[in-house]
Structure 1
Amino acid sequence: MRQRSAISRRAAAAALVLVVVTGAAACAGPQDGDARGDGSGGGEPRRGGTLTVLNSEPQTDFDPARLYTSGGGNVPSLVFRTLTTRNREDGAAGTEVVPDLATDTGRPNADATEWTFTLKPGLKYEDGTPITSADIKYGVERSFAAELSGGAPYLRDWLIGGSTYQGPFTGKGKDKSKADGENKGGNGLDSIVTPDDRTIVFKLRKPAGEFPYLATQTQFAPVPRAKDTGTRYEEHPLSSGPYKVVRNEGDGERLLLERNPHWSATTDPERKAYPDTIDVRSGLDSAVINQRLSTGSGADASAVTTDTNLGPAELARIGDDKELAARVGTGRFGFVNYLAFNPKVKPFDNIKVRQAIAYAINRTSVVNAAGGSALAEPATTFLPEKEAFGHTPYDHFPAGPTGDPEQARKLLKEAGHEKLTITLTHSTEQNRQTSPEVATAVQEALKKAGITVELQGLENNAFNEARWDAAKTPGFFLSRWGADWPSGAPFLAPIFDGRQIVRDGSNYNHAQLDDPAVNREIDEISKLTDLDAAAKRWGALDRRIGELALDVPLFHPVYKRLYGKNVKNIVISDWTGVLDISQVAVA
Structure 2
Amino acid sequence: MNAQRSRSPRSLRQTALKTAAAAAVVAIALTGCNANGDKNADSSTGTQGSTTDTVAGGTLTILTSATEVNWDPAESQNLAITTLGLVERRLTTWGVEPGKPGVVVPDLATDTGTVSEDGTTWTYTLKDGLFFEDGTPITSADIKYGIERSFAPELSGGLSYHKSLLEGGDTYTGPFAGAELPSIETPDDKTIVFHLTSAYGDWPWIVSQPAFAPVPEAKDDVATYSQQPVASGPYRVAETKSGVSITLERNDKWDKATDDVRTAGPDQIVFSLGQDATVTAQRLIADSGADKNAFGATFVPPAQLAQVANNASAKERLVTSDAGALAYLAINTERDGLDNVKVRQAIQYATDKQAFQVASGGETGGALATTLITPGIQGRVDFNLYEAPAGGDVDKAKALLAESGWDPASRELILVSEDDSVSLSKAQAIEQGLERAGFKVTIKPEAQLAATQTLTQGDGDYDLNVSAWQPDFPSANGNIQPLFDSSQIGNGGWNIARFSDPAVDALIAQATAEIDPVKAGAIWAQADEAIMAASPVVPLVFTRNSFLHGSNVENFYIPSFPAYPNYLKASLAK
Give the TM-score taking structure 2 as reference length.
0.88
Q: What is the CA distance between 1:51 and its match in structure 2?
A: 0.7
Alignment-derived partner of residue 466 in structure 1? 454
Take 2:127 and 2:294, find their aligned partners in 1: how far apart are those partners? 33
Take 2:323 and 2:132, find their aligned partners in 1: how far apart are those partners? 32
Q: Is the 8 A contact 1:91 1:572 kept in 2?
A: no
Q: Is the 8 A contact 1:49 1:277 kept in 2?
A: yes
Q: Is the 8 A contact 2:367 2:542 kept in 1?
A: yes
Take 2:160 and 2:494, find their aligned partners in 1: how far apart are those partners? 13
Q: Is the 8 A contact 1:147 1:231 kept in 2?
A: no
For 2:257, which of 257, 260, 266 is the aligned residue? 266
Q: Kindly, what percent of the aligned residue pairs are identical?
A: 38
After superposition, residues 333-482 of structure 1 pair within 5 angstroms as 334-386=324-376, 388-413=377-402, 414-417=404-407, 419=409, 421-430=412-421, 432=422, 435-472=423-460, 474-482=462-470
Take 2:60 and 2:323, find their aligned partners in 1: how far apart are those partners? 24
Q: Which amino acid aligns with 1:426?
A: S
Take 2:265 and 2:67, find their aligned partners in 1: how far apart are those partners? 23
Take 1:344 and 1:88, find their aligned partners in 2: how far apart are those partners? 39
Q: What is the CA distance between 1:554 and its match in structure 2?
A: 0.5
Q: Deviations over 1:319-356 (max 9, x none)?
A: 22221111011213642111112222323222232222
For 1:161, which of 147, 151, 168 is the aligned residue? 168
| Residue 253 to residue 140, structure 1, CA distance change in 2 (3 Å) | farther
Take 1:258 and 1:384, find their aligned partners in 2: how far apart are those partners? 36
Q: Is the 8 A contact 2:327 2:467 kept in 1?
A: yes
Q: Is the 8 A contact 2:95 2:104 kept in 1?
A: yes
Take 1:239 and 1:429, find their aligned partners in 2: how far apart are those partners? 39
Q: Secondary structure at the match of 2:553?
A: coil
Q: Secondary structure at the match of 1:232?
A: coil
Alignment-derived partner of residue 517 in structure 2? 531
For 1:114, which of 111, 121, 124 is the aligned residue? 121
Take 1:335 and 1:108, find their aligned partners in 2: how far apart are those partners? 31
Q: Which amino acid aligns with 2:58?
A: G
1:493 equivalent in alignment to 2:481: yes
Alignment-derived partner of residue 560 in structure 2? 574
Take 1:86 and 1:58, find their aligned partners in 2: how far apart are those partners? 27
Take 2:159 and 2:289, find their aligned partners in 1: how far apart are those partners? 38
For 2:90, which of 82, 85, 88 is the aligned residue? 82
Q: Is the 8 A contact 1:138 1:222 kept in 2?
A: yes
Alignment-derived partner of residue 221 in structure 1? 213
Q: Secondary structure at the match of 1:539?
A: helix
After superposition, residues 509-520 of structure 1 pair within 5 angstroms as 509-520=495-506
Alignment-derived partner of residue 305 in structure 1? 296
Q: Is the 8 A contact 2:48 2:98 kept in 1?
A: no
| Residue 418 to residue 157, structure 1, CA distance change in 2 (3 Å) | closer
1:68 equivalent in alignment to 2:60: no
Take 2:427 and 2:67, find their aligned partners in 1: how far apart are those partners? 29
Take 1:529 and 1:305, find their aligned partners in 2: how far apart are those partners? 39
Q: What is the CA distance between 1:283 and its match in structure 2?
A: 2.4
1:55 equivalent in alignment to 2:64: yes
Q: Is the 8 A contact 2:48 2:558 kept in 1?
A: no
Q: Is the 8 A contact 2:88 2:233 kept in 1?
A: yes
Q: Which amino acid aligns with 2:495?
A: N
Q: Which amino acid aligns with 1:111?
A: D
Q: Is the 8 A contact 1:312 1:372 kept in 2?
A: no
Q: What is the CA distance between 1:47 and its match in structure 2?
A: 1.0
Q: What is the CA distance between 1:450 and its match in structure 2?
A: 1.4
Q: Is the 8 A contact 1:148 1:231 kept in 2?
A: no
Q: What is the CA distance between 1:132 and its match in structure 2?
A: 0.3
Q: Is the 8 A contact 2:97 2:560 kept in 1?
A: no
Q: Which amino acid aligns with 1:109?
A: S
Q: What is the CA distance between 1:253 and its match in structure 2?
A: 5.4
Q: Is the 8 A contact 2:375 2:560 kept in 1?
A: no
Take 2:409 and 2:397, find their aligned partners in 1: how far apart are those partners? 11
- Structure 1, 408-417 or 256-265: larger mean CA deviation: 408-417
Q: Is the 8 A contact 1:159 1:205 kept in 2?
A: yes
Alignment-derived partner of residue 537 in structure 2? 551
Q: Is the 8 A contact 1:389 1:538 kept in 2?
A: no
Aligned length: 529
Take 2:97 and 2:254, find their aligned partners in 1: how far apart are those partners? 21
For 2:283, which of 274, 292, 297 is the aligned residue? 292
For 2:310, which of 311, 320, 325 is the aligned residue? 320
Q: What is the CA distance between 1:68 and its match in structure 2?
A: 0.8
Q: Is the 8 A contact 2:51 2:554 kept in 1?
A: no
Alignment-derived partner of residue 50 in structure 2? 37
| Residue 159 to residue 501, structure 1, CA distance change in 2 (3 Å) | farther
Tell me, which stretches of 5 or more residues in structure 1 are unaligned? 1-25, 175-185
Take 2:470 and 2:244, find their aligned partners in 1: how far apart are those partners? 25
Q: Is the 8 A contact 1:492 1:542 kept in 2?
A: yes
| Residue 448 to residue 344, structure 1, CA distance change in 2 (3 Å) | same
| Residue 486 to residue 326, structure 1, CA distance change in 2 (3 Å) | same
Q: Is the 8 A contact 1:334 1:483 kept in 2?
A: no
Q: What is the CA distance between 1:515 and its match in structure 2?
A: 2.8
Q: What is the CA distance between 1:59 and its match in structure 2?
A: 4.2
- Structure 1, 233-242 or 515-524: larger mean CA deviation: 515-524
Q: Which amino acid aligns with 2:336?
A: K
Q: Which amino acid aligns with 2:543?
A: P
Q: Is the 8 A contact 2:48 2:322 kept in 1?
A: no
1:203 equivalent in alignment to 2:195: yes
Q: Is the 8 A contact 1:470 1:510 kept in 2?
A: no
Tell me, which stretches of 5 or more residues in structure 2 are unaligned? 1-38
Take 2:537 and 2:479, find their aligned partners in 1: how far apart are those partners? 14
For 1:127, which of 131, 134, 150 is the aligned residue? 134
| Residue 418 to residue 290, structure 1, CA distance change in 2 (3 Å) | closer
Q: Deviations over 1:484-520 (max 9, x none)?
A: 11111111111111233353xx211113334332222
Q: Secondary structure at the match of 1:201?
A: strand
Alignment-derived partner of residue 236 in structure 1? 228
Q: What is the CA distance between 1:471 and its match in structure 2?
A: 2.2
Give the TM-score taking structure 1 as reference length.
0.86
Alignment-derived partner of residue 35 in structure 2? none
| Residue 389 to residue 100, structure 1, CA distance change in 2 (3 Å) | same
Q: What is the CA distance between 1:88 and its match in structure 2?
A: 4.6
For 1:145, which of 148, 152, 172 is the aligned residue? 152
